[in-house]
Amino acid sequence: MSNTETVATLGENLSLKRVIERLRKPTDASSNVLVGPGDDSAVLAAPDGRFCVTTDTMVEGHDFKLEWSSAFDLGWKAVATNAADVAAMGAVPTSLVIAMGVPSDTEVRWLEGFVDGANAACESLAPRCFVVGGDLAASDKIFIAVTAFGDLQGREPVLRTGAKVGDIVAVGGTLGRAACGLALLQSGNADAINTWDDWVNVQRRPEPAIELGVLAAQAGATSMLDISDGLAKDAARIAKASKVSIALSRQALQGYEAVLEGAASWIDADAFAWVLGGGEDHSLLATFAADATLPRGFKRIGEVIDVAAEAGSDVLLDGQPLAELGWDSIWG
């Protein structure tokens, strides 16, 4: 086969077939995949009689740039971001379907790289999760729409509505690293990008701690979500849904800020803005009863309080509404 085979030369159907053949497949009989790709629908097991479903989209030029992300990166990220939404319910990701549009001059090699990235992310982040179906369409720009499924294993889903006054607020995973990586890429400063490539790689291939979702549910998390738009915005979502306020401690957040200071000073940026406003680490934000034992991997960053009287104070930092502290921009 020539390396310059494109979707146009193969056709959408044949290209999709090639993609499907490359997908990682279950090797044991205990998989949830009863009928895999190739028919009108896949058929999946839902052992406890329920399943979780979430969908998320990435669009070229809006959510990613081909100069900054390889096909492998995008396949990885598409899986990671959706698996995090499943984990945020306290569920185990079991499978996903991917609908994509690509220009007809897209090389089949690019598609293969995408599949390799998706396979690698499943294997690394959610080993029992498989791609079970897809659709490949012609489009002017690339878009990637992933729908992911999860198994609650008999547990109740952890919603955004259950935070109670007095609960601990905790984060599972890192904060601000992907935002730092994006700022580095946007700076165009090659030295900075090379020096801080760990943070750039978090932007390209986030590694959310998917297993922390189940651990949080088992530890009795009262509410949880995946931080996709930044700590400030996503904490406000829990606060609004649970009709409480969330009081964050700057001291508890300083460790997340500290590791980003070097990169921030290099490109004259504000590391704490990344910690509060950056979402693409896809860490989990959860609340736990005051007497709960936090699962290893979760760190206490604040507490749930009564709805604060001041306007715009779903989230407070050291007792002050975030907006009044000059963090308007991260509420965008």
Q: How many CB atoms are located within 10 Å of the residue 201 CB?
A: 15
Query: According to CB under 8 A, which residues from 71 to 90 bind a second copy?
Result: 85-86, 88-89
Determine, following the binding rule CB under 8 A, whether residue 200 of this chain makes contact with a second copy.
no
Q: What is the largest CA-CA distance in the chain?
A: 67
Q: List the one residue from 5, 14, 110, 157 that touches a second copy (CB under 8 A).
A: 157
Q: List the one residue from 79, 92, 100, 317 that touches a second copy (CB under 8 A).
A: 100
Taking the CA atoms of residue 222, residue 228, residue 233 and residue 236 in that order, the dihedral angle to the nearest 10 degrees is -10
Determine, following the binding rule CB under 8 A, whether residue 101 of this chain makes contact with a second copy.
yes
Query: According to CB under 8 A, which residues from 217 to 256 bind a second copy?
Result: 224-226, 241
The DSSP element (H or E) to which 233 belongs, if any, is: helix 231-242
Beta bridge pairs of residue 248: 302, 317
Query: According to CB under 8 A, which residues from 286 to 325 bind a second copy?
Result: none
| Nearest residue (CB) to a second copy, 8 versus 258 | 8
Determine, following the binding rule CB under 8 A, whether residue 163 of this chain makes contact with a second copy.
no
Determine, following the binding rule CB under 8 A, whether residue 51 of this chain makes contact with a second copy.
yes
CA-nearest of 152, 185, 215 to 67 is 185
What string of H, E and C letters represents the secondary structure of 120-148?
Answer: HHHHHHCCCCEEEEEEEEECCCCEEEEEE
Binding track, positions 133-152, relative to a second copy; x by CB under 8 A:
xxx-xxxxx-x-x-xxxx-x
Least distance between a second copy and beta carbon 104 (Å): 9
Strand order, beta sheet including 298-305: 223-226, 284-288, 168-172, 298-305, 245-248, 315-317, 320-321
Determine, following the binding rule CB under 8 A, whether residue 125 of this chain makes contact with a second copy.
no
Q: Is the dihedral of CA 77, 78, 81, 87 positive or negative?
A: negative
Contact status, residue 32 vs residue 44, Cβ threshold 8 Å: yes
56 burial via Cβ count (<10 Å: 0-12, 13-18, 19+): middle
Contact status, residue 158 vs residue 217, Cβ threshold 8 Å: yes
Q: List the one residue from 56, 116, 211, 261 that touches a second copy (CB under 8 A).
A: 56
| Nearest residue (CB) to a second copy, 53 versus 325 | 53
Least distance between a second copy and beta carbon 85 (Å): 4
Least distance between a second copy and beta carbon 34 (Å): 6
Q: List the one residue from 16, 78, 98, 210 that touches a second copy (CB under 8 A).
A: 98
Q: List the one residue from 45, 66, 165, 307 that touches a second copy (CB under 8 A).
A: 45
Q: List the one residue from 4, 55, 254, 265 that touches a second copy (CB under 8 A).
A: 55
Least distance between a second copy and beta carbon 301 (Å): 19
Sequence-separated (6 or more) residues with CB below 8 Å from residue 263: 180, 183, 184, 192, 195, 196, 199, 269, 271
Binding residues for a second copy, rule: CB under 8 A, are: 34-35, 38-47, 49-59, 61-63, 85-86, 88-89, 91, 95, 97-101, 132-135, 137-141, 143, 145, 147-150, 152, 157, 159-160, 224-226, 241
